[in-house]
Structure 1
Amino acid sequence: MESMQNILIVGAGFAGSVCARELAEVGHKVLVVDRRDHSAGNAFDLKDEHGILIHQYGPHIFHTNSERIFNYLSKYTEWYQYEHRVRGVVDGKEYPFPINRDTLNQLYSLDLDEKGAADFFEKVREPRELVKTSEDVVLNSVGRDLYEKFFLNYTKKQWGLDPSQLKAGVAARIPTRTNTNDRYFTDTFQAMPLHGYAVMFENLLNHPNIEVQLSTEFKDVLNSSREFDHIVYTGPIDAFYDFKFGHLPYRSLRFEHEHLADQEWYQSVGTVNYPNDFEFTRITEFKHLTGQQATSTSIVREYPTAEGDPYYPIPRDENEILFKKYKVLADQEERVTFVGRLAEYRYYNMDQVVGAALNAVDKILERK
């Protein structure tokens, strides 16, 4: 790629910000635009009016097995070591989740060792020769009772669909354990940005070759007099093409933040799932995540919705078929790179977005 090109990056989340920094580092002039009034995308955090650091768009817990990606982000943040733990509420009682040996012993009043837990799962599971759906995954692993207690109604709330209507990958993300490990993630690197995500993104975007324009629609920039040699687009791919083939389905979220002035802690762990009760799916208490010390606390409840900002691509075969129509167009673009969860219609974790962005930059720089 020729030196000192003008590059437009649409979106100031992980994908856009990492691309911006890497392209700026090798001399390109980069304009980053975002329709929101802040960078950091859905990872954006800030101190609420009571001084508690909260995640505006729900909990974002960083974890990765990639030393390369952890070291990359370490250039822009210090870390607070944190291992996320989750509980699931069934019939008014909290149990470790993902399901482990303690879950079985507490739920069924048993005293299983590791082999006993493995034997229990083998006894109750409903084997599936072909594992096509999320229902297949869970029934094949833990059987019907645990499926109905922990997964069925949570999935219905989260996705607005029955697990039998979702691809297997959704449930495959959640492990089942015969030991007593109650960490939600088992990745090698688990930590939170010490001063928050917003500060980390400020550091990422702090480069003389990077200009950031917030509260800006990218098509307004395209229609301006500025010219760009290349575009990195991280928004919804169907929006880029003005929904030519129709809207890609996304699941959205509504967040209900609450501050509790008269108590230091609200719950025992970072996140508590409510699979069978209430309209919300889970409650997160931010002080667990950040290590912040305070005599009061702030929580957020998450309500999945069909309308609103796109958060999760809905993993169904018909949606993949529609996405591929847009991807055919995207693959023909010589001056546009599509990267990120919305642009690639993929459920990426944060570290996966960073990896995808670094790979996208490599391909951009390879072009002559």
Structure 2
Amino acid sequence: MFDTIIIGAGFAGAVLAERLATQRQQRILVIDKRQHIGGNCYDRFDDHGVLIHQYGPHLFHTDNKDVFDYLSQFTQWQPYQHEVLAFIDGQKVPVPFNLNSLHSLLPASLADSLELKLIDHFGYGVKVPILELRNVDDKELKFLADFIYEKIFVNYTAKQWGKNPEDISPEVTGRVPVHISRDNRYFQDKYQAIPAQGYARVFQNMLNHPNISVMLNTDFKDVFKLDFDTTKMQFMQSEFTGQLIYTGLIDELFNSHFGELPYRSLAFKFEHLPVDQFQDKTTINYPNDYDFTRITEFKHINQQIVPGTTIVKEFPQAFERDNPKKNIPYYPIFTDENKLKLDRYLAFAEQFENITLVGRLAENRYYDMDDIVARALQVFNDMH
């Protein structure tokens, strides 16, 4: 019945379904264990009429014109420039750390001196990885690097990954940039916008094709079987000789053959409040206070005019496969041990000519939204 079966209805799966159906006239089945399409980008209107992002804020930004033009077939855009504040020492300052943050947190004379040194050493308008700043041969700049690291990064990272601050290598957050500018935007990409009618509508438009069927509320393991010895596939107890595109957990596809790969999960606590606005910006990070890492207020994103406001608090947590409150994997955990295990899975997958792995979970790589759309388009172009 189907030429290609795709596991997962997030961006990776939806892009490939759309391309194969419209450009190759293939018959496609998309299977997802959730009761909605869109993966973690799914948004919906809550009971109060506020458009919320069910799995935390997703803010589209890219410098890739091909990706932006491709998605523009399925949505109109509402320009949106994201700004984030961090609650530090009782006040809210812009992050990533920039010259405005510097002058908010440090005495004026010291801030002036540090600003001059930063510009003199690196130039204006550049982004400097904090690890590079820590390695500069200047006492004041070293002090600044340690100050930023301690106040903004280390405790946030500890909460995010469930580790003690002293157990976190500086290299983990070493790539996080310090902006030597007064640009408070979180991203500096050329294209920054949100879908005018929400992400769910984008996915509906992508998958709305007579060649595409969608099966929700379905764990692929209940309908799909893979024989490791013969490399043959079965769908609904009949042999399937088409292509499988898999975007889920790579270890689940292969029945944890080489052991389970670890992930971090998140818990979201939504609250509706009887005020027009709860906080100054869309997202405020809390690196050093409270158990949650950040609060997002959704009305800032789409400028909705509705009574009240809805916020969400984000709590990092352990990933537990059999616990429905903790079984959504958000972040692969990158360690040397996990990489060895992943490499075994990737090598094993190469034995299966009809299987293609795409996405954050299937490839165990961190992709932004635009990256995964670009990756899916590249996979399609490479298919024969």
Note whether the superposition's TM-score is higher than 0.5. Answer: yes
* Distance of 1:341 and 1:30 partners within structure 2: 21
Q: Report how far residue 240 of structure 1 moved.
A: 0.6
292-301 or 156-165, larger mean C-alpha shift: 156-165
CA deviation string 1:50-108 (max 9, x = no partner): 00000000000000110000000000011110000000001221011110001111100
Q: Secondary structure at the match of 1:8?
A: strand
Aligned to 1:315: 334
User: What is the percent sequence identity of the aligned residues?
Assistant: 45
Q: Secondary structure at the match of 1:253?
A: strand
* Distance of 1:202 and 1:228 partners within structure 2: 28
Q: Report how far residue 192 of structure 1 moved.
A: 0.4
The answer to whether 1:190 aligns with 2:192 is yes
* Distance of 1:203 and 1:166 partners within structure 2: 44
Coordinate RMSD, CA, aligned: 2.3
- Aligned partners of 1:139 and 1:147 also within 8 Å: no
| 1:113–1:137 Cα change, 3 Å | closer
Runs of 4+ aligned residues of structure 1 deviating over 3 Å after TM superposition are 111-116, 120-123, 134-142, 162-171
Unaligned runs of 5+ residues in structure 1 are 124-133
- Aligned partners of 2:118 and 2:180 also within 8 Å: no
**TM-score w.r.t. structure 1 length?**
0.89
Aligned to 2:44: 46
Q: Secondary structure at the match of 2:315?
A: strand
Give 1:1-368 correspondences, 5 Å limit.
6-25=3-22, 26-110=24-108, 116-117=114-115, 119-120=117-118, 136=131, 139-140=134-135, 142-161=144-163, 165=168, 168=171, 171-172=174-175, 174-222=176-224, 223-226=235-238, 227-260=240-273, 262-307=274-319, 308=326, 309-364=328-383, 366=384
- Aligned partners of 2:6 and 2:30 also within 8 Å: yes
Q: Report how far residue 189 of structure 1 moved.
A: 0.5
Unaligned runs of 5+ residues in structure 2 are 122-128, 137-143, 225-234, 320-325
**TM-score w.r.t. structure 2 length?**
0.86
Q: Report how far residue 5 of structure 1 moved.
A: 6.1
Letter in 1 for 2:292: F
Aligned to 2:323: none
Q: Secondary structure at the match of 1:289?
A: helix
306-315 or 58-67, larger mean C-alpha shift: 306-315
* Distance of 1:219 and 1:359 partners within structure 2: 27
Number of aligned positions between the proteins: 350
- Aligned partners of 2:102 and 2:111 also within 8 Å: no
Q: Report how far residue 175 of structure 1 moved.
A: 2.2
| 1:22–1:349 Cα change, 3 Å | same
